[in-house]
Amino acid sequence: MVYAGIDIGSTTSKVVLLNEDEIILAYSIIRNSYNLAESGREALKIALSKGGLPQNEISHIISTGYGRRTIKFQDESEPEIICHAKGTFKIIPTCRTIIDIGGQDSKVIELDERGLVKKFQMNDKCAAGTGRYLDKLAEDILQVGIEQLGEKSLKSDNPLVISAQCTVFAESEIISYLSQGKATEDIIAGMHNSLAKRVIDMGKSGFIKFKKDTVFSGGVAMNIGMVTALEHLLNQKVIIPKEPQLTAALGAALMAKKKS
Ligand code: ADP
């Protein structure tokens, strides 16, 4: 029997296929088109083909994420906070805090020692606290690829302060720094510090104490500059899962197995 978790986020769709022993048989991560349902279907098709599995071997499908109700072939849908908790705790049982920064939202989740959600805070209202902030500033203003931000920021000796609370105003601040001849690395390091501080402040506003171990997931966790900024501000190491975008899809697949 195969159990499927499908996480349809605002930017990417992810699928994890598990077997009876909760071993990952195959997975997929694809960038969404404007049609979220189509992206969810495509991600499932790719994962099945990678695993050499026919769709009729799937005994239960759980969808999660922002677009979880856009598809119609799932057995159930579950909120992403629960799926993040289940998936992250499965791979890192020492996890007590999850910081997840995706394409258009961010979340901080506190877990108890059994992996159950104690508290959470989420931002899906404002681009400034999400991956979108980095995407937009990097691509539109700095013309630097998102994959290069991390390495570039590590070369910074003098991170600049980006104080704007909003992506549009941050753009003006960065343009002003560029016109003063400031180094791109210092600007990028400032962007990382600003995003990291925003996400930490969001967690603190929900009385989350960032107990160890803290796990950093979501696509933005692939940015080493963001990892460094969070570690510096939290004064602790953060753990990055091997595939940081997959934790909610894994959680959904684990729930699919339990509920089938
Ligand atoms: P969602 O689940 O919200 O759809 P993801 O967790 O997949 O989003 O994260 C998408 C974000 O991850 C993008 O906005 C981008 O900023 C970031 N990202 C994706 N790949 C990389 C990479 N290789 N390096 C740095 N950041 C990345």
Domain definitions of the chain by residue range = 1-92+246-260, 94-240
Closest C-alpha residue for ligand 1 atom 16: 131
3-state class (DSSP) for residue 115: coil
Average pLDDT, the chain: 96
Residue 106: strand, helix, or coil: strand
Percent of the chain with pLDDT over 90: 95
Task: Report the C-alpha gap between 3 and 51 in whole angstroms.
Answer: 13
Overall residue count recorded for the chain in this entry? 260
Buried b (16+ CB within 10 A) or exposed e, 199-216: bbebbeeeebebeebbbb
Question: What does pTM read for this prediction?
Answer: 0.97
User: Which atom of ligand 1 is nearest to 147's Cα?
Assistant: 24
Ligand 1 centroid distance, CA of 63 (Å): 19
Residue 96 CA to ligand 1 centre (angstroms): 23
Average pLDDT for residues 89-97, to the nearest whole number?
Answer: 98
- Hey, which of 220, 227, 243, 245 would you mutate to test ligand 1's pocket, going by the most ligand atoms within 8 Å of its Cβ? 220
CA pair distance 87, 73, nearest whole angstrom: 22
- Specify the residue with its C-alpha closest to ligand 1, atom 26: 220
Task: Answer yes or no: CATH 3.30.410.40 is held by domain 94-240.
Answer: no
173 lines ligand 1 (CB under 6 A): no
147 lines ligand 1 (CB under 6 A): yes
The average pLDDT across 152-157 equals: 96
CATH class of 1-92+246-260: alpha beta
pLDDT of amino acid 49 = 98
Q: Look at ligand 1, atom 18, and give the residue with the nearest C-alpha.
A: 219
Cα dihedral 77, 81, 82, 83 in deg (nearest 10): 70
CA 240 – ligand 1 centroid, Å: 14
What does the pLDDT look like over 225-252, one tens digit per residue? 999 999 999 999 999 999 999 999 999 9
pLDDT digits (tens, 9 = 90+) for 9-52: 999 999 999 999 999 999 999 999 999 999 999 999 999 999 99
Question: 3-state DSSP call for residue 212?
Answer: coil
Ligand 1, atom 22: nearest CA belongs to which residue?
147
- Band (pLDDT 50/70/90 cuts) for residue 84 is very high
pLDDT at 126 over 90: no
Find, among 67, 85, 90, 89, the residue nearest to 77 by Cα.
Answer: 67
